[in-house]
Amino acid sequence: MNVYRLGCLEGQMSMLIFHALARMGSEGLILVSPAERIVSVGYFQDTDKVVDLEYCRKNGISVMRREIGGGTTLLDRNQIFFQLILRRDNPEFPRGISSLYRLIADPCVDTYRQLGVRALFRPVNDIVTEEGRKVSGLGGADIGECVVFVGNVILDFDSREMANILKVPSEKFRDKVHKSLEDNVSSVVKETGRRPPRREAEDLLIENFGKRIGRLREAPLESKVYEMARELETKMMSDEFLFRRRDKTAGDASYMKVKISSGTQVSERSYKAPGGLITVTHAVEGDIIKDISISGDFTLYPKERLRDIEGSLVGAVRDVSGIEEVISKVYHELSIESPGLTPLHFAEAICKAD
């Protein structure tokens, strides 16, 4: 398998290359960083609800939605991102999502340990220190005929800027977010007092991935990959894609409840599950769901099937056991996987959103 050491790339290209390779059906391991600060929004998130777009605009920070779940992240040259692209029909790799997460988690853990950080894998998709501070978040998605898994080695981390790019209700709240980031997110520099050369960290990642997935050959990236990435940039940074989940009536409510009539209301609330935050916005007439939108920082495979889950719930009665049964049926029929989330978690999120 090829490994592509791409250094620091301008704009959102550090996130666009793996989207292009996956669409082309090309397996490989990418090591890359953005040349400047950028913001990456999770596939199932509502961009304008999680990102301070005005702050990003004023400070020249570009924002893009990726085709991988998870939360909003601030990316910069102080983080080395590894992106593993595998064809779904490759028989040499495990089928289960949890096994694939372990496949990319172990090389990351080993690399951190060799850099002096006592790290371990905490399912569903975090790498943490022995004390519980997060040092990497893993994510994955199906793109084209491939599955893509991504993670990072954080050499250094700007917690203040991370707090700045998030949309929050007040500056007091932002200060609390900053304090929480300082306490719960770490880096090689913070843990060891040393910033290793980029080359050293990359060499370790290549060595450790090679032990799990076979020999890796360094190769240049073909020009056609960059060409496709530039084509994808137009789509993935468009308002239509960046704000794509604002197309449902229920989605216009904002963390609140609005009474429409004596028997009808629109409400929204978030629910924390082991696999991520689930935000449910729905219109209900009596106990009947008339319209529903689900978003959050979770991961779901295949990612397009969230629409099928939403569609199955229109007309359903808001009852935990009944909703769980409806969603379980969709999971079974469409072979859906969602690490750390079960139909019951979705059912509880829906029935608590009142």
Considering only CA atoms, which of 137, 132, 100 is closest in space to residue 117?
132
pLDDT of residue 142: 93
Distance (Å, whole) CA 243 – CA 237: 10
Largest Cα–Cα distance in the chain?
A: 66
pLDDT of residue 228: 97
pLDDT of residue 81: 98
CA distance readout (Å), 247 to 65, 130, 145:
16, 43, 27
Is residue 330 scored above 50 in pLDDT? Answer: yes
Read off φ and ψ for residue 30, nearest 5 degrees: -105, 135
Domain ranges in the chain are 2-241, 249-352
Task: Please give the structure tokens belonging to residue 271.
Answer: 């629910």
What pLDDT, in 10s, does the model give residues 302-311?
999 999 999 9
Same fold across 2-241 and 249-352: no
Distance (Å, whole) CA 157 – CA 184: 12
DSSP 73-107: EEE-TTEEEEEEEEETT-TTS-SSHHHHHHHHHHH
Confidence band, pLDDT 50/70/90 cuts, at residue 251:
very low
Sheet holding 126-129, edge to edge: 119-122, 126-129, 134-137
249-352: CATH topology is Enolase-like; domain 1 (3.30.390)
Is residue 219 scored above 70 in pLDDT? Answer: yes
Is residue 260 scored above 90 in pLDDT? Answer: no
* For residues 322-328, average pLDDT: 97
pLDDT of residue 248: 46
Confidence band, pLDDT 50/70/90 cuts, at residue 255:
very low
- Mean pLDDT computed over every residue of the chain: 91
Let me know if domain 2-241 sits in CATH 3.30.930.10: yes
pLDDT of residue 32: 98
Task: Please give the structure tokens belonging to residue 90.
Answer: 């490759």
As a whole number of Å, the CA-based R_g of the chain is 20
What pLDDT, in 10s, does the model give residues 19-65?
999 999 999 999 999 999 999 999 999 999 999 999 999 999 999 99
* For residues 310-317, average pLDDT: 95
pLDDT of residue 247: 41
Strand pairing report for 73-75 and 79-87 = unpaired
Distance (Å, whole) CA 277 – CA 71: 9
The proportion of the chain whose per-residue pLDDT surpasses 90, expressed as a percent, equals: 80
pLDDT of residue 283: 84
Confidence band, pLDDT 50/70/90 cuts, at residue 354:
low
- 124 or 340, which is more confident? 340
pLDDT of residue 268: 81
pTM: 0.86
What pLDDT, in 10s, does the model give residues 70-103?
999 999 999 999 999 999 999 888 877 788 888 9
Considering only CA atoms, which of 96, 34, 99 is closest in space to residue 64?
34
pLDDT of residue 352: 78
The proportion of the chain whose per-residue pLDDT surpasses 70, expressed as a percent, equals: 94
Task: Please give the structure tokens belonging to residue 202.
Answer: 């990359």
